[in-house]
Structure formats: structure tokens, C-alpha cells
Copies of this chain bind each other. A is one copy, B any other.
Amino acid sequence: MPQKPFVSAQEVAERAGVSRSAVSRTFTPGASVSPETRRRVVEAAEALGYHVNHLARGLMRNESGIVCLIVSEMSTPYRANLIRAMTQQLQNAGKVAMLINTDRSDGSVDLALRQAIRYRADASIILSGMPDRSITQLCLKNGQRLVLINRDDDQQGPLRINLDDAEAAGRVVTAFVRAGCRRLAFANSQAGTPSLMAREHGFVGAAKAMGLPVLVERHGPTNYESGRVLAQRLLTLGERPDAVFCATDLLACGFMDAARHQFRLSIPDQLCVAGFDDIEQAAWSSYDLTTFAQPVDRIAREAVAWLVNEREEPADHSVRFRPDLVWRSSVRGG
């Protein structure tokens, strides 16, 4: 559609009887314009339906106002919620979100970051996957800010926001033991992301420290169906576990459904279940799942606050949140 129907500052200037710079200044906060000129410009702009071209403005200012959100499996409850919080915070800060879908394939995140560079995004927020170091360096060198959420990377430059997964996992062990459970299990997906593995190691480590053995099972992607499969595996054993910590709520929902409907187990009487994320469904009464709440709003606020910050990078770019344990009825003795 190579037409040029958008009204430009030039036309507004002509109609208002002022110079084009006056129009420009009217829409630039803090610029010097007399009230009278501003009034006439605004009036003309209104009448003509003028809107500042942010593409051109971005070109001049070297600041597009665009922030890239790089996500895979964005329709899962936790991700969707994080995206919501992020876009909301970005809008509040006068930025706008560009959303890019990635998949499991290698280089998918790199491709997304290249897109971010092409659109001269002021920043990129990576919620899934790990980009190649060379690409992140390219972004940083280009003055683009980078936020890594739960990526557990050690490179300097990006803001790294992480949860204390291992510590949280340890608290689950304590809860299970208090509930009188002795045969612990951990249900994980095969995705192997740093967060998931930290939960696994934290859980296993804490259990070992208390002298309790742990059954660990891993299967498939991090979703409901995998939770069911994991239940199949863990609940058909001779010595059935009496408490299972699922690496995410989605896994836990699948696990609980299989445990109840297929194995006729009563939760929490015969089996305690805990999850992670506190997705909306965890609060639904069919699950009423004890879980850890990811502070998505605080994460989003922190990320956006950091990336709109004019100042040079602060000393440490790493933030660590301690997730809240949300007690519900899937674990005895809350």
C-alpha cells in the first residue's frame, strides 16, 4: 500500500500559519512554544487528524519507544500473565510492547533479537530461551538494554531477574515433612531450563539433607499432559510416593487430575501435591493447590523501571525475588 495519506507536520504548520518547527515543538515536552502558538497548532492538528510519526521521531531521537518481548509458548497461563503485566507497565512508562514468538528451535531467540535490532527497540525482555552470547553482545553494543527473566545467566550487562527457586523448593520439603510425608517425589518436565532444574536440585538437596530419598521423574514439555504422564509413572510404583512437588502448576494440575480420576487417590489425605507459579487455575477449587506465587507484577515493575532509567547502569544488574508460599488444601496441615 504505497500511498501517503498520513497528514504531516508540514500540513499542520501551514494550516496553523506557523513554521514546521513550531509544530514539532508543540509535541515535544519541554520545548519552548508560546501558549498562543501551541493553541493554534493543537487546533490545526486536531482538525486534520495529525499524529506524530513515531517512526521518524525514533529515527531522530535514536529512541524508538519500542520494547521487545521475546516469549515462547505465550498462551500458557503463567506466560500470558507475565506478558499482561509487562505490557501494562510498559504502557504506563510511555513505551510500547512488540511481541515476538519463539519456538524450541535453535537460533529462534537470536532471530527475535535481530528483529528487535531492526526496529531499533530500546530494550528487549527475554522470557524464554537463551540467546547466543554474540547476539546479546551485539544488542548491548548497540545501546539496547536487555532483561533476562528467570534465565539464570551470568553475563554482565543485562538486568537479570531471578527467583530463589532452590530456596523455595527447600520450603516445600519442610512442608511435606510437617504434613507427615516420607516418600517424596519430584515431577519435572524435560525442558531443563535453569528455573526448573534449580527447583529440582533444591528439592532433592533439601530432602537429602533431612535424610529422605526422593524419586525424580522427568517427561516432555512443561504442560498439563506431561503432568498426567508423570503421575502414571510415579503412582504405579510399588512404594507409591505420598507427596509430590511438581515443577510448575500446569504439571501439578495434570498430576492431580490423573491421581484423582485415574488412581482414585484423595488429595491431600493420601497424597500431598505442591506446584510452582500460582497460576489462576491453582486457586480453582478443583485444584486448590499449594504453590509459590511468582511476583509477576513486581517483576514487571522492576524490569520496566530499570530499562526506562536514564542513568548509566547501576552497579549490580541482578535482582532476586523470594516467591511467596501460598498455602492451600493440596498439602495437609497448612
Contacts and interface: CB of A to CB of B under 8 A. Distances in A.
A63 B4 CA distance: 10
Interface residues of A, number: 65
A267 to B, nearest CB: 12
Given A2-B62, A122-B1, A83 B74 contact: yes
A54 interface: yes
Given A59-B59, A138-B49, A224-B284, A100 B87 contact: yes
Nearest to A103: B88
A96 B119 contact: yes
A212 to B, nearest CB: 30
A81 interface: yes
Nearest to A223: B280
Contact of A77 (B77, B142, B258): B77
A64 B55 contact: yes
A91 B258 CA distance: 37
A3 interface: yes
Interface in A51-110: 51-56, 58-59, 61-64, 66, 69, 74-77, 79-81, 83-84, 87-88, 91, 96-101
A53 B286 contact: no
Contacts of A1: 62-63, 122, 143, 310
Contacts of A261: 285-286
A199 interface: no
B257 A120 contact: no
Given A51-B117, A257-B286, A258-B285, 13 more contacts: A1-B62, A1-B310, A4-B62, A49-B142, A55-B56, A66-B98, A74-B84, A75-B83, A75-B84, A80-B83, A98-B99, A224-B280, A257-B284
19 contacts: A1-B63, A1-B143, A4-B62, A5-B141, A6-B143, A49-B138, A49-B141, A52-B118, A53-B120, A54-B119, A55-B55, A75-B80, A84-B101, A96-B98, A97-B98, A224-B280, A253-B284, A257-B284, A286-B286
